[in-house]
Amino acid sequence: MDEKPVDSASLPKGDKPHRPVAFSARRVLVREVNWLGDLVLSLPALRAIRAIFDRARLSVLVADNLVGFFDGINWVDEVIPYRSSVGAAGLKYHFKISSEISAREFDLAILFPGSFRSALWLMLAGVPVRIGYAGDGRGFMLTHRVSPGIDALAGHQSRYWLGLVRDVFDCDESFCDRPQTLTPSPQNVSAMRSWLAMRRIRQRAKLIAIAPAAAYGPAKEWPSAHYVALIDLLAERYGAECVLVGSPSERGRCEQLAASARAGAIVAAGETGVGELIALLSLCDGFAGNDSGAMHLAAALSLPTVGIFGSTNPARTGPVGQRAEVIYRAVECSPCLDRTCRFGHYNCLREIAPAEVADSLARLGGYAAQPGATQTSMA
């Protein structure tokens, strides 16, 4: 495979090349993380690797359901998908993906996930330099083992992967302050603009994206009644229209919310891949939702973003960006990190009022009053 030098003009803005002598490489592989939100938070670390190995061919190995995340990232040279579901009968597949990696003759691989399997693939592929955090019994499969520092374990989640890159490659600390900026692909933007045009009722109204579900469980989900009230409140106050985003498994919940709201809502859940979701969010004027991958995408797109937190810790996994804000009730039992409320009350979420979310969006510049919008009840 021919080396593809990176044009400096395509590097993330502000990055300065830096390569320690001990780690010269022509072909670099990054084994990316497995969750959409983590993928966003790992971007600063990936950008740092791109700048360190500014003339190398940079490839990422990522689950097939997340490939679209890289549609608009032109400073990554190759995206290698692997099957997101490999069951107990997947032994042959482990050798297959390892063979695909081996054929590309990587000089160096950096593992963001801490799993045994991710290290196994790269060892079987014979990548000569394999770097990652030790743990999960995989230390013997890594040529360079790293222990996470205090900031990686106790700080924001993005520091976990940044800490790995910083400690191995002696990066400048300024990398820790780089934004997690995302750019949608023009093709996806065009497709989603057409998709919206066929579904919008008020074409000129402000469009607010809402993510009402979370894969983790109900302890991260603001009550449905609150979302219905928010949709109607945004229509009453600002004439705004809402689009509900989520996965195919979350479509039913979104359809129920849209049907329950007097103002109605567009349902996009289950109709977009990750690349299309990024494009759709880029066409919106604001975002409100649970601690989820969509929340992190919105913040990385510099969209006015309000993250609603319950069982999880916003200091650890909050959205990053100048136009992002968190609403969190630090009740006595929170953050518990549980999937369901052990006490059954979900007070950390129930106590957050719809008006509070609407006010936060206004403060962040998510919308302005639209011509013809009413200030009274829609009843």
Number of helices (H), then strands (E), in the chain: 14, 12
How many Å apart are CA 152 and CA 214, to the nearest integer?
25
pLDDT score for 345: 78
Stretch among 27-36, 298-307, 346-355 having the lowest mean pLDDT:
346-355
Residue of 344 and 365 predicted with greater confidence: 365
- The predicted model gives 328-339 an average pLDDT of 81
Sign of the CA dihedral running 15, 20, 25, 28: negative
Q: Name the range with the highest mean pLDDT among 171-180, 255-264, 336-345.
A: 255-264
- Interatomic CA distance for residues 101 and 91, integer angstroms: 16
Q: Span 114-128, mean pLDDT?
A: 94
Please check whether residue 133 is in contact with residue 147, taking contact to mean a CB–CB distance below 8 angstroms: yes
Question: What is d(CA 248, CA 263) in angstroms, rounded to the nearest whole number?
Answer: 23
- Structural domains for the chain: 8-177 (3.40.50.2000), 186-364 (3.40.50.2000)
Nearest Cα neighbor of 217 from 374, 338, 135, 44 is 338
Residue 120 has pLDDT above 70, yes or no: yes
Could you tell me the pLDDT band of residue 312, with boundaries at 50, 70 and 90?
confident
Mean pLDDT of 24-38: 94
* pLDDT score at 59: 98
Q: What is the pLDDT of residue 218?
A: 73
pLDDT band at 369 (very low <50, low <70, confident <90, very high): very low
**Short-list 224, 233, 220, 217, CA closest to 253:** 224
CA dihedral defined by 333, 334, 338, 339, rounded to 10 degrees? 120
When pLDDT is cut at 50, 70 and 90, the band that residue 28 belongs to is: very high
Could you tell me the pLDDT band of residue 278, with boundaries at 50, 70 and 90? very high
Mean pLDDT over 196-209 rounds to 93
Is the confidence at residue 371, as pLDDT, over 80?
Answer: no
Q: Provide the pLDDT for residue 193.
A: 97
- Percent pLDDT > 90 in the chain is 64
Asked if pLDDT for residue 110 goes beyond 70, the answer is: yes
Section 286-308 average pLDDT: 95
User: What separation, in Å, do the N-terminal and C-terminal C-alpha atoms of the chain show?
Assistant: 65
- What is the C-alpha separation between 326 and 265, in angstroms, rounded? 24
